[in-house]
Amino acid sequence: MTTRHAGRGRLVLLRGGRDARASAREDADWDTFCARIGWASAPEALSDHDERLLVDRLLGTLDRTIDPAVVRGVAPEASPRAPSAWARQVVVASTMLAVAAAIGLVVAATLSWQARAAARAVHAEPEVLATSAPRLRSIAPVEKARHAVDPPMQEPDAPKKPRKAPPAPAPPEPPGAIASVRAADTATPHDPEDDLRAPRSRAGDPAGEASSRGAAVIAAAGSSTATVPVLTDAERFSAAAPSTLAVAGPQRVLGVETLAARSPTWVPAVSEGVRATPASWSIAPAGERWFGASLPPSPAGSVLPGGIGVVAQLDLGKAIGQF
């Protein structure tokens, strides 16, 4: 092919024609030779797209195969995709942290509810056991009158045990007085009849009494039927109707009914200790790595044995390291 440039003719040779035919023949010979010696020709060469995919897959695999320390130490400098992988791990770790916090909240709420139920059982237990002496310091006159006119329940035939006559109710306070009940354990002075009603330790010391009652509290927290063996059928189905003031959970209904049947002058016990122990939560990072949810223990003045608390913590660094 000739071209003319600046008035001077130049001859430019382009490859093709015979060269192309010779090259094709050589390629055929080469392919035959390769097949002869067992060398397989590539079915198709890699394209640019395949190279890019290979690099992506390769580096993605490397991100997973190398240890996390190298990923954090080397890859962020060398790999532009390393931050995205790191961010993905952070998202997964955050999700796990949120799930762990939710589980901790549920557990703490369950324990708190059980603790409150146990606290109410502590205040209800002396009322159930009260047979001779009223354990009420004061009751509301209206409530007392309502219980007095309630019809008796149907009760099965059961032998009645000779029991002591119920004591006379406490003198009514003037109208408008606060209807409150104080637990027997917190009342002073010590009632000598408690020795006959409540189980005592072998030593008979107050500490032993407290521990035995504590055990009763724990049992009541697990199941409300823990108070049932104390009562007889006659006691359970006495003249008083079940109180409609039972507003607690299902575990408390039986106890409240029993209390209402046991004492016509019964009113729902309002415990200062229970009221003064609200559910309290805290979810806060305690450090750069530790996150936790906690339920603080009961206050010192509470009737619950102190030291009941829930603490759940999650090591965020280790959680992330798992990925």
Min. distance of Cβ 302 from other proteins in angstroms?
Answer: 58
Min. distance of Cβ 88 from other proteins in angstroms?
Answer: 18
Judged by beta carbon, residue 61 or residue 280, the one nearer other proteins is: 61
Min. distance of Cβ 36 from other proteins in angstroms?
Answer: 5
The answer to whether 13 contacts other proteins (rule: CB under 8 A) is: no
Min. distance of Cβ 51 from other proteins in angstroms?
Answer: 5
Min. distance of Cβ 78 from other proteins in angstroms?
Answer: 4
Judged by beta carbon, residue 50 or residue 315, the one nearer other proteins is: 50
Judged by beta carbon, residue 38 or residue 192, the one nearer other proteins is: 38
- Binding mask 174-213 vs other proteins (x if CB under 8 A, - otherwise)? ----------------------------------------
Per-position b or e across 294-306, b if 16+ CB within 10 A of its CB: bbebbeeebbbbe
Site for other proteins in 26-85 (CB under 8 A): 26-27, 30, 33-34, 36-43, 45-46, 51, 54-55, 57-59, 61-62, 65-66, 70, 73-75, 77-79
Total residues interacting with other proteins, rule: CB under 8 A:
32
Span near other proteins by CB under 8 A; candidates 24-32, 189-197, 213-221, 310-318: 24-32
Min. distance of Cβ 95 from other proteins in angstroms?
Answer: 28
Min. distance of Cβ 46 from other proteins in angstroms?
Answer: 5
The stretches of the chain forming alpha helices (DSSP H) are 18-37, 48-65, 68-73, 75-78, 82-129, 141-149, 194-197, 206-222, 233-236, 250-262, 272-275, 316-321
Distance of CA 111 to the CA centre of its chain: 8
Torsion of CA 212, 216, 222, 226, to 10 degrees: 140
Name the nearest CA neighbour of 194 among 203, 207, 184, 205: 184
Length in residues, the chain:
323
Tokens read off for 84: 């995205």
Give 172's contacts (C-beta < 8 A, 6+ positions apart).
139, 141, 144
Name the nearest CA neighbour of 117 among 306, 297, 247: 247
Count of CB atoms within 10 A of residue 216's CB? Answer: 19
List C-alpha distances in Å: 222 to 110, 116, 215, 217, 227. 12, 12, 11, 9, 11
| Contacts to other proteins by CB under 8 A | 26-27, 30, 33-34, 36-43, 45-46, 51, 54-55, 57-59, 61-62, 65-66, 70, 73-75, 77-79
